[in-house]
Structure 1
Amino acid sequence: MPDLATYKTLIDARLNELGARLSDIETELDLPKSKDLGEQAVDLEDDEVLEGVGLVAQKETALLHDALGRIADGTYGTCQKCGDPISDARLRAVLYAVVCRDCAQAAST
C-alpha cells in the first residue's frame, strides 16, 4: 500500500507547479501583439505553441485531481485493470497512474 500522505503532497506540489505554468501562459497570451506583420506571424506561432502546452497542463491537472479522488476513496495505487498494486516507482514517475506496469505494457502492444 502506498504512503498516501506522501503521494498527496507530491500531487499537490505538481498541481501548484502546473497552476503557475498555466498562469504564466495566460499572462503571455494576454500580451498585446506587435503592429509589425512579420512579428505578428511569429507571435501567432508562439501563441499556438503556448496553447498546446496549456492544453497538456490542463489535461495533467485533471488527471491529478482524479488521482486525489482515488486517494480519498482508497483506490489510489491499485491497478484498475488487474487489481494488483501499482509499484512505488511507477507512481513516482506517473503520479496519476491507474494501471500497473504490466497492464500498461500489455495495452501498448
Structure 2
Amino acid sequence: MADVFDPQGTLERLRRDYRQRAEAIRDDLARPHDADATERAGERQNDEVLQALLAEAEAGLRQVERARQRLAEGRYGLCRRCGQPIEPARLAALPVAELCLHCAGLER
C-alpha cells in the first residue's frame, strides 16, 4: 500500500529541521573569532556564508508557518492564485507550495 501524504506531520518535520538548522547556524555565528588577522578575514567570509544560510533557513521557516496556517484554516493544498487544488505530487515534493503548477509557471 502506498504511503499517504500527511501534511501536518510533514510540515512539523520541516519546521523542526529549519529550526534546528537556524539554531546551529546562530551558534556558529556566536563563536569567538580568532585573534590572528589572517584567520579573522577567513572567518568573516565564513560568517557571510553562514548569514546567507541563516536567511534561507528563516525564509523556509516562514514558508512552513504560512503552510501550517493554511492547513489550520482549511486552505492547505489550494492554489492561492486560482483556488484550484495543488497537484498531490507537487505537495509531496514541495509541502509549502502555495501555487499549482500552472500558476507557478505564470509567475516566472
TM beyond 0.5: yes
Shift of residue 89 of structure 1? 1.1
Quick check: 1:80 aligned with 2:75?
no
Runs of 4+ in 1 over 3 A off after TM superposition: none
Aligned to 2:16: 16
Task: Provide the TM-score with structure 1 as the length reference.
Answer: 0.91
Aligned to 1:100: 100
Shift of residue 58 of structure 1? 0.5
Aligned to 2:38: 38
What SS does the aligned partner of 2:107 have? helix
Shift of residue 25 of structure 1? 0.5
Aligned to 1:55: 55
Task: Provide the TM-score with structure 2 as the length reference.
Answer: 0.92
Shift of residue 19 of structure 1? 0.9
Q: How many residue pairs align between the two structures? A: 105
1:9-61 residue CA offsets vs partner (Å, 9 max, x unmatched): 00100111111111111111111100111100000000010011001110110
- Supply the AA of the counterpart residue of 1:22: A
Q: For structure 1, which runs of at least 5 residues remain unmatched after alignment?
A: none
Cα distance in 1 between the residues matched to 2:27 and 2:94? 28
